[in-house]
């Protein structure tokens, strides 16, 4: 009788263990899977019981969906993809700039199991006791899509992507996020002083610095295909952005083999830049010197190679897998999985 009881207990333990650790088990995904949630898959395209929260709860439906994920025993991590989240955004055009918004009544440190972040000093944004890793959505840029084409002629010295919020709105949320005010100062130096040709994406019809508008080409919002071609027509990318947490324009440009001239104070994206693929500028003097450095050394710079050596779905996916294995083995494990994707 004791032996039978022992085997029953052993069977129940094994069943529980299988339920807990089998990362590719079939499960019902809650409906309404729009942002703020990001789904996670293995390299065989199986969806896993892991979900990332990329944005505060601004809709009741998002909170309800979170509870469904929680009840279904998902591993729920935060990912810093939206301005300063989990801190209150400083973008004055954003409703989340108001600390009294309902979205800030939730304690995101208590609700989440850990964090993927973009910050130089993560402890300023995320509880010190929480598991965290320097991983961004922009680490997973599709380098097979964004790639150089040497048959395309270089027309512009630099490209700056800063779309309007609406057809006739030249300054709003996006312009604040892309730091248009500093962008204008950069343009005055690059095109006004250095006489470089610039492509300003998304700002057709908006005022440009008068001393250099003859050197500037502006466009409306571009399709993905048009934007890729615009990268290929440019020599380097300008990013004066500051509150951008996961600047995919930067990684898209790097994958297309464009060096970057980027604001040192940007929240996310700083980690991609080194002496082999661009310049981080701290002040206006750095902008002029940085542009000259890039153009002088452009043949020896290797933006795409640097990105592929350190990021992309395989490399970043393995880092993400290791982070989860090292911190959440009590909740999930992986069988025959090489890497994870978003």
The fold of 156-310 is: Rossmann fold (3.40.50)
- pLDDT tens digits for range 94-122: 999 999 999 999 999 999 999 999 999 99
pLDDT higher than threshold 60 for residue 18: no
Q: Which of 79, 251, 254, 258 is nearest to 156 (CA)?
A: 258
Give the model confidence (pLDDT) of 232-289 as tens digits: 999 999 999 999 999 999 999 999 999 999 999 999 999 999 999 999 999 999 999 9
CB 256 within 8 A of CB 228: yes
Segment 276-331, tens digit of pLDDT: 999 999 999 999 999 999 999 999 999 999 999 999 999 999 999 999 999 999 98
Q: Do residues 298 and 128 lie in contact, with contact meaning Cβ atoms separated by under 8 Å?
A: no
- Assign 29 a pLDDT band (cuts: 50, 70, 90): low
Q: pTM value?
A: 0.89
CA-based diameter of the chain, in Å?
93
312: phi > 0 → left, psi -120 to 50 → alpha, else beta; which? left
**Residue of 34, 29, 51, 17 lying closest to 324 (CA atoms):** 51
Q: Output the CA angle 97-124-262, nearest 5 degrees.
A: 75
Domain extents for the chain? 20-141+312-341, 156-310
How far apart (Å, rounded) are the C-alpha atoms in residues 107 and 128? 15
CA distance 158 to 168: 25
Name the token pair of 177.
């996020």
């Amino acid at each position: 009788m004791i032996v039978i009881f022992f085997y029953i207990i052993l069977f129940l333990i094994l069943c529980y263990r299988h339920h807990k650790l089998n990362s590719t088990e079939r499960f019902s995904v809650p409906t309404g899977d729009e942002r703020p949630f990001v789904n996670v898959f293995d390299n065989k395209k199986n969806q896993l019981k892991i979900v990332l929260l990329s944005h505060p709860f601004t809709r009741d439906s998002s909170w309800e969906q979170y509870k469904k994920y929680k009840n279904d025993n998902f591993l729920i991590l935060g990912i810093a993809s939206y301005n300063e989240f989990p801190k209150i955004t400083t973008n004055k055009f954003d409703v989340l700039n108001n600390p009294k918004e309902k979205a800030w009544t939730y304690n995101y440190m208590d609700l989440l199991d850990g964090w993927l972040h973009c910050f130089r000093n993560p402890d300023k944004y995320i509880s010190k006791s929480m598991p965290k890793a320097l991983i961004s959505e922009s680490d997973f840029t599709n380098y097979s899509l964004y790639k150089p084409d040497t048959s395309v002629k270089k027309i512009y010295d630099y490209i700056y992507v800063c779309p309007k919020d609406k057809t006739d709105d030249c300054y709003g949320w996006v312009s604040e996020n892309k730091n248009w005010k500093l962008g204008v100062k950069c343009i005055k130096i690059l095109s006004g002083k250095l006489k470089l040709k610039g492509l300003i994406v998304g700002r057709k019809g908006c005022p440009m610095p008068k001393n250099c508008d003859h050197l500037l080409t502006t466009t409306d919002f571009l399709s993905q295909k048009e934007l890729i071609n615009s990268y290929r027509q440019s020599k380097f990318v300008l990013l004066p952005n500051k509150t951008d947490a996961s600047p995919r324009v930067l990684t898209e440009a790097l994958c297309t083999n464009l060096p970057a001239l980027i604001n040192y104070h940007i929240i996310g994206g700083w980690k991609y830049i080194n002496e082999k693929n661009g310049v981080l500028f701290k002040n206006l003097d750095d902008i002029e010197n940085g542009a000259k450095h890039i153009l002088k050394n452009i043949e020896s710079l290797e933006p795409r190679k640097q990105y592929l050596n350190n990021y992309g779905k395989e490399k970043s996916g393995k880092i993400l897998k290791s982070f989860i294995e090292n911190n959440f083995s009590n909740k999930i494990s992986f069988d025959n999985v090489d890497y994870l994707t978003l």
